[in-house]
């Protein structure tokens, strides 16, 4: 499998920011729970204080300010995460361009080789058609010659030789499926 070093370096940064974002969101959730608990506690103590003093003094909760600050941090981390992801994509494109630069000469060589083979195949196919035509001619002429010899002998074997006449031409015909390629 091909390695993409620039993308991998950028991905490390994306992972760090993602982890920080998850941690900040968990901390914000915990603070919100503390805040809810504090509000409930403050309600109870305010009710008791009102019963005792006749007035309400609610304390300012520190978790509200912490939650607001933490939300600002989370918003900043989300923006930073999006930037890091874009940077990762750009780094990946650089890796892909380098890879394409390495592969491109081989691709061009293979395309040229394919074109040469196609031209060679075209020549072979043309030569095969000519040989097929020649084979048919030989077969036709062979048959005519054998027919003439037999006709002239009127069925008698040749006085020169006691060999029977051949029944097949010296070359077979080329199969037609080879000509269609």
pLDDT in tens, 95-145: 999 999 999 999 999 999 999 999 999 999 999 999 999 999 988 898 888
| 3 state SS of 114 | helix
Task: Based on the fold, state whether residues 101 and 37 are members of the same structural domain.
Answer: yes
The range of the structural domain enclosing residue 161 comes to 127-179
Which residues of the chain are modeled with pLDDT < 50?
181
Cβ-based burial of 88 (10 A; exposed 0-12, middle 13-18, buried ≥19) = buried
Looking at the fold, whether 120 and 133 belong to one and the same domain comes out as no
Residue 97 tokens read as: 């361009």
Residue 54 shares a structural domain with residue 85: yes
**Looking at the structure, do residues 86 and 99 belong to the same domain, yes or no?**
yes
The answer to whether residues 58 and 46 touch, using CB atoms and an 8 Å cutoff, is yes
pLDDT for 131: 92
pLDDT in the model for residue 181: 47
Nearest-angstrom CA–CA distance, 130 and 128? 5
Q: Any alpha helices (H) in the chain, and if so which ranges?
A: 5-53, 62-153, 176-179
Same domain, yes or no: 131 and 170: yes
């Amino acid at each position: 499998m091909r390695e993409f070093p620039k993308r991998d370096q950028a991905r490390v940064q994306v992972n760090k920011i993602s982890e920080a974002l998850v941690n900040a969101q968990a901390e914000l959730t915990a603070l919100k729970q503390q805040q809810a608990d504090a509000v409930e506690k403050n309600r109870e103590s305010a009710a008791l204080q009102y019963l005792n003093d006749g007035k309400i003094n609610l304390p300012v909760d520190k978790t509200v300010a912490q939650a607001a600050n933490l939300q600002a941090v989370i918003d900043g981390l989300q923006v930073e995460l999006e930037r890091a992801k874009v940077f990762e994509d750009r780094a990946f494109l650089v890796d892909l361009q380098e890879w394409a630069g390495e592969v491109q000469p081989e691709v061009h060589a293979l395309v040229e080789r394919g074109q040469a083979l196609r031209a060679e195949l075209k020549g072979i196919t043309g030569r095969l058609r000519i040989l097929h035509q020649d084979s048919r001619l030989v077969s036709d002429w062979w048959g005519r010659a054998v027919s003439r010899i037999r006709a002239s002998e009127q069925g008698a074997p040749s006085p020169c030789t006691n060999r029977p006449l051949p029944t097949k031409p010296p070359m077979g015909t080329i199969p037609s499926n080879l000509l269609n390629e």
